[in-house]
Amino acid sequence: MNDWIEYYDSPHTIYVSKLHRDVHFRTIARDIVGYIPSKHSVVLDYACGEALSAETVADACGRLILAEPAPGVRGRLVVRFAPNTKIRVRSLDELRHMDEKSVDLAVMNSVAQYMTPDALDAAFAVIRRLLKPAGRLVLGDILQPNVGLSGDVIALLRFAAKHGFVKDALRGLARTALSDYRQLRTRIGLQRYNEAEMLAKLAAAGFTATRTPANIGHNPSRMTFVARLAFERGRNADAAS
């Protein structure tokens, strides 16, 4: 994951324009808000990136923890959200020192593809420790093995057409073809899982999960899962019987 952290911590061309960047983060924030159980919830955004619309999420919950591994991005988050008392910025290492069972909703969106399977398991273990018994993990933007780069291109162009930045998208795609992102994606690759593989991986980490009808964000070819602690699901079933 370190190569990807360095990439996102440096100037990059992943967003084709300011408009693309802004609507991307607005869309993500809107979708996350839909999973927040109450106005009093503690929400963790794991490897949140720039999180430009985090205040939208913070307005819908009691406290928002933005956890980010890239030091430069994390520094910008601290400065950007310093006036907002509902937002706290943390490194991933700091999550290990947070109180157990202190988080109602953990979100890990567009992160798993950059992590080795072992690193993802370690992240699941941290999140499992932090979740309250009735808490949920929302795991979004999971890449499927049968959907390649062309699927991402089509999704971007449809998103651009909806929001009015098609010309920028076409120019941006040309830049990306020659960029460090394309080189990293070719050299390192991205982790992909089919639905059964991710459900099994979550089960091995102590969760019971289901795939949602719609993915977080603009790419419908990717998957989102909602997971609960396995013992909590079992306890609810016993109570109902």
The amino acid at residue 69 is: P
For residue 90, what are the CA distances in angstroms to 7, 72, 132, 187? 20, 13, 19, 30
- CB contact set of 101 (below 8 Å; sequence gap of 6+): 130, 131, 132, 133, 135
Domain 2-240 maps to which CATH number in 3.40.50.150, 3.40.720.10, 3.40.50.261, 3.40.50.300?
3.40.50.150
233 confidence band (pLDDT: 50, 70, 90)? very low
Helix (H) or strand (E) segment spanning residue 76: helix 71-81
Which of 24-38, 88-102, 135-149 is least confident?
135-149
For the entire predicted model, the pTM comes to 0.89
Mean pLDDT taken over the chain:
90
Please count the CA atoms within 13 angstroms of the CA of 155 that sit on its side-chain side.
17
Which of 61-75, 152-166, 175-189 is least confident?
175-189
Average pLDDT over residues 156-174: 89
Question: In angstroms, rounded to a whole number, what is the distance separating the alpha carbons of residues 111 and 139?
Answer: 9
Average pLDDT over residues 2-10: 72
Q: Is the pLDDT of residue 55 over 60?
A: yes
pLDDT digits (tens, 9 = 90+) for 132-152: 999 999 999 999 998 877 788
- Residue 119: name the closest of 184, 201, 203, 43 by CA: 201
* CA distance between the termini of the chain: 44
Q: Is the pLDDT of residue 186 over 80?
A: no
Tokens standing for 23?
């609507």
Answer for the pair 46, 115: CB distance below 8 angstroms, yes or no: no
Dihedral, 111, 73, 177, 193 alpha carbons, nearest 10: 0
> What's phi and psi for 77, nearest 5 deg?
-65, -45
Q: Any idea where the domains of the chain sit in the sequence? A: 2-240
